[in-house]
Structure 1
Amino acid sequence: MDLIGALPRLAARRPPVLLVTMPGATRERLAVEAELTGRDWPSAPGPAAAAGLVVAGRAGGAQWLGDLWNGMPRPRAYVAVAHAGDAPHALDLLGRLLSSGREGDAPRAVSAGAPRGAPGQGGGDGPDHHPGAPGSGARETPGDEDGRSGRGGQEGRNGRGQARGQGRGQGQGRKQGRALGLGQGRGQEQGQEQEQGERGQEQERGQEQERGQERGQGQERGQGQGHGGHRGGVAGLPMAGRADDRDGLRLDRLHLPLGPALADWPAGLVLDVALQGDVLQSAEAHPWEAAPAGRYPFWGEPWLRAAGGEAVTRGAAERRRCASHLDSVGRFLAVSGWPRPAARARRLRDRLLQGAAAGELAPEVLRLTRGVARSRTLRWLTRGLGELPAGRARELGVTGPALAADGDVHARLRVWLGEIERSVHGMDDPRALTGVDGPRGRLDGPRPPSRLLLAALLPLLPGAEFACARLILASFDPDPDEFVGAGHG
């Protein structure tokens, strides 16, 4: 019996999949998530636990994507879904690659314009473009000097340890030709041992000492480059510096990039944070990557089309609003460590987008929303986190649920739940849509509502514990498509 050959085939039946969403690819993400749910394939929290890497949208030449790939154990496989309709075929291909046991196969891409089964077309920048390929934007040996590459791991769903998974992949890639913070010490130890050796080994000792000095110099150069931005460290991971904390004590401060590919995280967002222990001292957002031009943000599409003169019914807009809030609630519950209601919210979202009748879904939606709203544990966990008074929100230009909540994380969750219940009863309204109030706020302003949400939430993060900061971010849930999509200049 070929046990070794049977293991890949067994793993390919339900491979853990790491789904990475590119900015502007919400439609593709939703198609892949629905397909994964239908197949009962588990989601991987990070690359170290993944067998398959699925990229929703056009990957381009993202360096960090190559680092994710390099951080995955073999056997592994990759597909890119450039169009929502290709999700079933892409996952079929992923399963075939894994079951074949061809470890380390070059990543494959699938798109609507490519012949079925043709590798490497449409998902990247041309035929056979893939992260880790020679000549591609993502190298096999990661070297992202801005410190953002490969930070997509998540240990559990409580928000802690989010950026450690891909660091292992970086360390593996850097170990050829780069000091890993170990060179100088090893050189000194070798020198001491060699000095105690016999004279007949002087030549060998000299060679060993010379190599130790070279490693030590390499370490010093790495520290000189990294510590200026607090990016240097061991095995590609940053080292902590020192800074005063809020109590006046001088403690270790770790600078860490979060994103752009964490589980239950806005696609493409990168936050550079400073941590003392598990408390955030500062947080700075980096711009989203460019998305395909001329495409409406998926969740705001009905309102933007109506504003452009197209005929859109109120029922269609309310269906999209309800699905958008269920998507946000599912992400929030997953971050808070409540996976079963999160999965229920996402299944209901998928059925809404597939056109299920309002009367069929309404009872299930109400059971979900009222069950979440009644949870005393969830209320206790989120009480007082990320408070944004309505007056301050109005000053910042925030509209929509975050303004209506006039309060903390739980208040924003309850506004979502209330709007879900109202929207599920309005999905059959045949009247023409006239308003511009999308799921995250008004879409007719000079700045998209998600950009305003991000500006409002960043000042709320310093002083919060790591897990609490993730809950604060999830309670605003800025939509990356609005940063780069059509309809906002």
Structure 2
Amino acid sequence: MELRRALVRAAVSRPGVLLATSPGATRQRLAVEAELARRGWACVGGPAEADLFVILGVREGEDEAEGEGGEGDWVAALWQGIPAPKARVWVTDPGRVADALDSGLADLVRGEHGNDHAPDAPDSHHEHHEHHEHHEHHEHQQNGDHPTPPSEHSGHDMHGGHHGHAGHDMGLVEGLPMADRADDRDGLRLDVLHVPLGPVLADWPAGLILRLTLQGDLVQEATVEPVTTPPSPHPPFWDEPWLRTASGEHISRGDAARRLCAAHLDSLGRFFAVAGWNDMAARTRHARDRALAGAAAAELTSLVRPLIRRAQRSRTLRWLTTGLGTLPAEQARQRGVTGPALVADGDAYNRMLVWLDAVDRSAADCDVTEALDPAEVVGPRGRLDTPVPPSRALLDSLPRLLEGTEFACARIIVASLDPDLDELTHVPAPGTVHSHG
């Protein structure tokens, strides 16, 4: 028994972690990702690779959620899809992340079955699971100077059925979706496959479910379906400085610039990861974490400018992303898009360039102490004083951008918009900015 425990302890010393982030849990996600990077633990792309299941956000409704798409529905389905040995933890307090991860690791080592609260981590819940054999998980490969095309790397499986939000969408052998037949654009009879992406997928907007209808490798139809989440009175993390300023609080321009810089670095990290450039994604997220940790403008600038030059000079990245999800400015304006996607006036590559430019400028402004203008209510994804939150307009634009594109390109297009579903859960007091209901 002791030898067996020693072998298990060695095998799970760096467990594969599957993150399940609910809308409104951005602060928790950032804290977990920073701690995982510090420990060298890898985030995995799906349940089959996972040892430790980390659920981020409030626990209410996990057992009571009703109807397809409820939080308890997809959390339970993902948990069932993880092979033993496994453990799971809930993280609701960003300050107790290390405790929660330690608790989960201890559960893996002990291999005991239970369902109780860790006494030293009151804001996290852990569950043990009896195991009989250990499975090996695959670590993400770190690419060098260039991204790897999505079809060539396995770190981010494009087939999202195994990350669906209900048991029948989990992609297990007995639950694979069946194909119908229909005429394609050339008049041929091709299989029609209905594929769900989300809500839990590596480098994916938290809470987003995308339902695709495929013929061959082309997206014929796309439907956006956010996960049902209780409304929150708390402002979205990335929009917080501007919303607080609009409500009368004193926020410095430097603090707003720091949040803007970190937000775009977060988006860029997802974009690079989905494009297969894992090394670049890791470096970008390190700069993001330093921005959120309060690094001075000089340090932050020295971190981001080499990354900006590297991304701008990558011919492979340009080749992979040019022509994907083209959104002309006029169409963006008609759909209510007000942020970087409007400024970009183009495709996924153009949107990345806009983010890079904003990161450069905002990193240099992080030490500015003068007050932020209350009339300047433009967050990372657009204007915050409109009837519709910026990410709602991005989600509304997504189906047309996906239709007619190759399936392997779908996630790059989503990452290039990076809608923040936290904005859809925010219900501010009447009369305040973003009182959209």
TM-score range, shorter chain: 0.7 to 0.9
Change (3 A) 1:244 1:234: farther
Q: C-alpha displacement at 1:156, in angstroms?
A: 2.1
Post-superposition Cα deviations, 1:118-144, rounded to whole Å, max 9, x if no partner, equal 6xxx557xxx9x799xxxxxxxxxxxx
Q: Distance in 1 between matches of 2:10 and 2:248?
A: 53
| Alignment partner of 2:158 out of 144, 160, 163 | 160
SS of the residue 2:238 aligns to: coil
Q: Distance in 2 between matches of 1:478 and 1:383?
A: 20
Other-structure match for 1:77 = 87
Q: Distance in 1 between matches of 2:115 and 2:45?
A: 20
Q: Is the 8 A contact 1:319 1:424 kept in 2?
A: yes
Other-structure match for 1:294 = 233
Change (3 A) 1:455 1:165: closer
Other-structure match for 1:29 = 29
The alignment status of 1:116 with 2:120, answered yes or no, reads yes
Alignment of 1:193-272 (within 5 A): 235-272=174-211
Change (3 A) 1:98 1:381: same
Other-structure match for 1:182 = none
Post-superposition Cα deviations, 1:148-189, rounded to whole Å, max 9, x if no partner, equal xxxxxxx8245522323679x958xxxxxxxxxxxxxxxxxx
The alignment status of 1:15 with 2:25, answered yes or no, reads no
**Amino acid in structure 2 at the alignment position of 1:276:** Q
Q: Is the 8 A contact 1:159 1:467 kept in 2?
A: no
Q: Is the 8 A contact 1:24 1:292 kept in 2?
A: no
Change (3 A) 1:256 1:372: same
Q: Is the 8 A contact 1:269 1:287 kept in 2?
A: yes
| Alignment partner of 1:343 out of 258, 266, 282 | 282
Other-structure match for 1:453 = 394
Structure 2 unmatched ranges of 5 or more: 63-71, 130-152, 429-433
Q: Is the 8 A contact 2:340 2:354 kept in 1?
A: yes
Q: C-alpha displacement at 1:476, in angstroms?
A: 0.3
Q: C-alpha displacement at 1:292, in angstroms?
A: 5.2
Post-superposition Cα deviations, 1:429-455, rounded to whole Å, max 9, x if no partner, equal 111111111100000100000000111
Q: Distance in 1 between matches of 2:336 and 2:121?
A: 49
Q: Distance in 1 between matches of 2:33 and 2:221?
A: 33
Q: Is the 8 A contact 1:413 1:475 kept in 2?
A: yes
Change (3 A) 1:288 1:318: same
Q: Is the 8 A contact 2:108 2:128 kept in 1?
A: no
| Alignment partner of 2:100 out of 90, 98, 101 | 90
**Amino acid in structure 1 at the alignment position of 2:400:** P
Other-structure match for 2:264 = 325
Question: TM-score, length-normalised on structure 1?
Answer: 0.77
Q: Distance in 1 between matches of 2:26 and 2:170?
A: 31
Q: Distance in 1 between matches of 2:188 and 2:273?
A: 35
SS of the residue 1:5 aligns to: helix
The alignment status of 1:379 with 2:318, answered yes or no, reads yes
Q: Is the 8 A contact 1:437 1:443 kept in 2?
A: yes
SS of the residue 1:80 aligns to: strand
Other-structure match for 1:470 = 411
Q: C-alpha displacement at 1:232, in angstroms?
A: 12
Q: Distance in 2 between matches of 1:66 and 1:231?
A: 11
Q: Is the 8 A contact 2:269 2:282 kept in 1?
A: yes
Q: Distance in 1 between matches of 2:425 and 2:163?
A: 28
Percent identity over the alignment is: 53
Other-structure match for 1:414 = 353
Other-structure match for 2:51 = 51
**Amino acid in structure 1 at the alignment position of 2:174:** A
SS of the residue 1:41 aligns to: coil
Change (3 A) 1:34 1:388: same
Q: C-alpha displacement at 1:369, in angstroms?
A: 1.1
Q: Is the 8 A contact 2:341 2:351 kept in 1?
A: yes
Q: Is the 8 A contact 2:46 2:162 kept in 1?
A: no
Q: Is the 8 A contact 2:194 2:212 kept in 1?
A: yes
- RCO higher in structure (CA 8 A, sep ≥6): 2
Post-superposition Cα deviations, 1:240-297, rounded to whole Å, max 9, x if no partner, equal 0011112221210011221111111111111111111221111101133224521110
| Alignment partner of 1:278 out of 192, 207, 217 | 217
**Amino acid in structure 2 at the alignment position of 1:266:** P
Q: Distance in 1 between matches of 2:117 and 2:220?
A: 40
Q: Is the 8 A contact 1:48 1:165 kept in 2?
A: no
Structure 1 unmatched ranges of 5 or more: 133-154, 172-229
**Amino acid in structure 1 at the alignment position of 2:39:** R
Post-superposition Cα deviations, 1:44-74, rounded to whole Å, max 9, x if no partner, equal 1111110000011124321111111111111
Question: TM-score, length-normalised on structure 2?
Answer: 0.85
Q: Distance in 1 between matches of 2:280 and 2:396?
A: 29
Other-structure match for 2:142 = none
**Amino acid in structure 1 at the alignment position of 2:99:** H
Q: Distance in 2 between matches of 1:234 and 1:159?
A: 16
Change (3 A) 1:108 1:260: farther
Q: C-alpha displacement at 1:372, in angstroms?
A: 0.6
Change (3 A) 1:361 1:453: same
The range that moved more, 479-488 or 405-414, is 479-488
**Amino acid in structure 2 at the alignment position of 1:14:** R
